[in-house]
Amino acid sequence: MAAPLASRIRGDKGASLIQVALAIVVLAGFCAFVLDQGVVLWSRGEAQNAADAGALSGAIARAFDDTADPPAAGGLAWTSANSVALQNAVGTPGGTTTVTVGFSPTVPCPAFAAGAKCTRVDVFRDGSNGSTTLPAYFANIFGITSQQTRASAVAWSKAGNAVNCMRPFAVTDKYLEKGPATSNTVGAFDRWIDPPGPVSAAQIATPDLYVPPNGTSTGTGYTVALDLGTQVLLKGGNNPNSASGPITPGWFLPIQLPDGEGGYSSGADDYRFAIGHCSGNGVVQIGDYLPTETGAMIGPTSQGVADLIGLDSTASWNTGTNSIVNSCVPGCGAVSPRVVPIAVVDADEFQWRSTANNWTDKWTPGTGTTAGQPAGVGFSCPIGGRCVRVANILGFFVEQMVGNDVRGRIVMLPGIFAAGGSGGIAAGASFVTVIQLIR
């Protein structure tokens, strides 16, 4: 009896069964690692995509459609963020994904973005907030019956300071009339006059007040709270090479734009094309100086506006909703082609320079040239001659021509934040918005 037992111990029959059993356990572990962990990783990417898309959508709506701070739950910004996030499937079919949306200041921005308008979206597929967990497949062998994932994203809408598709209109900013006085023209901006004698420019007895926006103040100019949707008539026919004449609300000058190659576009054909198209112009920042055109450009203005309107001919302004309706968007772009950036003029500086015919001395806002500044030092227009300083940038929905004038609505506009230059301005005065995913 001993010999057969010893023989069986030394034999290799059935050894493969043991190896297969061990291999099954190992292979099952690998399958659990590859398949189940792969499901988690794949679903995590889908959840992040959903959160990113929702946060960006909410930030866009918050910048352009729902400007309350913070937006109301169930409002346009909330609905946009929630619906876009839920349109992105997370995990295997049949499960439930849930989303929460929060806005600053109720939901704080990250520390580096304190004070900005932030939109946060959280996406759940982890069994919390009404969601369901992800299924487990091979991991069930090891007692793991479900898996979890979630994602979060934050986007901000921030005041921009530059655009790269400026149109060649420079319109005066808002100012405060301080009259009545004999030296004031009712309705017009009055501060600088050319008195008799050697003094080239002096303040009138009761000057009007213009304060440009800066990083902490909206100044006296256009503000988002008061002027969004306001109809403005850009009053054309002004010749930049003659005396400026009365600067009244809506007064504008034709300007030359950077061509992106170190020069400036000029002439009737370039001017018309610059109105009707984003012609690849160089970046224009708040604080830049832009040369004025060589004439009033009445004909090219009318032709260029007709070209521009033709790009989205069915669009119109709905006064009830304070928004553009019947536009070609989204087929023709993210915003209507008829929404364009226009420059806002520092009326104080331009009137002083025009009155004094001084286009070479450095300017100190509110006082004229710097005290003790040598004549002709510290400033020059980009190509010589006359120029205007860009105090702000407006989004402008072009409605139609009215005689020589251009009628439209003040709106928000996507833009960029360019480093250097004069920096940005207070958010309350900024109509140029940058949308970025920041976390």
User: Which whole-number Å values give the CA distances from 127 to 132, 146, 393, in the listed order?
Assistant: 4, 10, 48
CA atoms within 13 A on the CB side of 42: 11
Q: Which of 159, 181, 198 is the last residue of a domain?
A: 159
Return the amino acid letter for 371. Answer: A
Length of the chain: 439
pTM for the whole structure: 0.81
* In contact, 210 and 228? CB cutoff 8 Å: no
In a domain, 12, yes or no: no
Q: Which of 104, 102, 77 is nearest to 152 (CA)?
A: 102
Residues 223, 120 share a domain: no
Q: Which of 159, 190, 224 is the last residue of a domain?
A: 159
* In contact, 175 and 222? CB cutoff 8 Å: no
Q: Which of 119, 100, 106, 62 is nearest to 439 (CA)?
A: 119
Helix or strand run (H / E) with residue 2 = helix 2-10
Residues 366, 327 share a domain: yes
pLDDT in the model for residue 68: 80
Domain around 124: 19-159
In a domain, 279, yes or no: yes
Q: DSSP characters for 372-423? A: TPPTT-B---BTBS-EEEEEEEEEEEEEEEETTEEEEEEE-EE-B--SSTT-
Instruction: Please enumerate in sequence order all residues whose Cβ is within 8 A of that of 428, keeping only pairs 6 or more positions apart, or say none.
Output: 218, 223, 224, 225
Helix or strand run (H / E) with residue 16 = helix 15-31
Total tally of structural domains belonging to the chain: 2
In a domain, 13, yes or no: no
Return the amino acid letter for 124. Answer: F
> Would you state the torsion angle of the CA atoms of residues 296, 297, 298, 299, taken in this order, to the nearest 10 degrees?
160
Cross-strand partners of 361: 378
Place of tokens 């015919």: 357
In a domain, 123, yes or no: yes
Q: Which of 127, 159, 191 is the last residue of a domain?
A: 159
In a domain, 330, yes or no: yes
pLDDT in the model for residue 309: 95
Helix (H, G, I), strand (E, B) or coil at 257: coil
Return the amino acid letter for 312. Answer: D
Q: Which of 397, 57, 374, 83 is nearest to 230 (CA)?
A: 397
In a domain, 11, yes or no: no
Helix, strand, coil distribution of the chain in percent, nearest 5: 25, 25, 45
**For residues 206 and 169, what is the distance between their CA atoms, to the nearest angstrom?**
30
In a domain, 401, yes or no: yes
User: Which whole-number Å values give the CA distances from 59 to 69, 286, 427, in the listed order?
Assistant: 12, 23, 15
Residues 276, 319 share a domain: yes
Residues 112, 177 share a domain: no
**For residues 216 and 233, what is the distance between their CA atoms, to the nearest angstrom?**
29
Please report, in tens digits, the pLDDT of each residue of the chain (439 residues total): 555 666 655 656 666 776 677 767 666 666 666 677 778 888 899 999 999 999 999 999 888 888 788 888 889 999 999 999 999 888 878 889 999 999 998 888 888 887 788 999 999 999 999 999 988 776 666 677 788 999 999 999 888 899 988 999 999 999 998 766 555 567 788 888 877 655 677 788 888 889 999 888 999 999 998 999 999 999 887 766 665 567 888 888 899 999 888 888 888 999 999 999 886 668 899 999 999 988 888 899 999 999 999 999 999 999 988 889 999 988 888 889 999 999 999 988 998 888 888 888 888 776 655 544 555 566 888 988 889 999 999 999 999 999 989 999 999 999 888 876 666 788 889 999 999 999 9
**For residues 285 and 108, what is the distance between their CA atoms, to the nearest angstrom?**
30
**For residues 11 and 136, what is the distance between their CA atoms, to the nearest angstrom?**
41
In a domain, 179, yes or no: yes
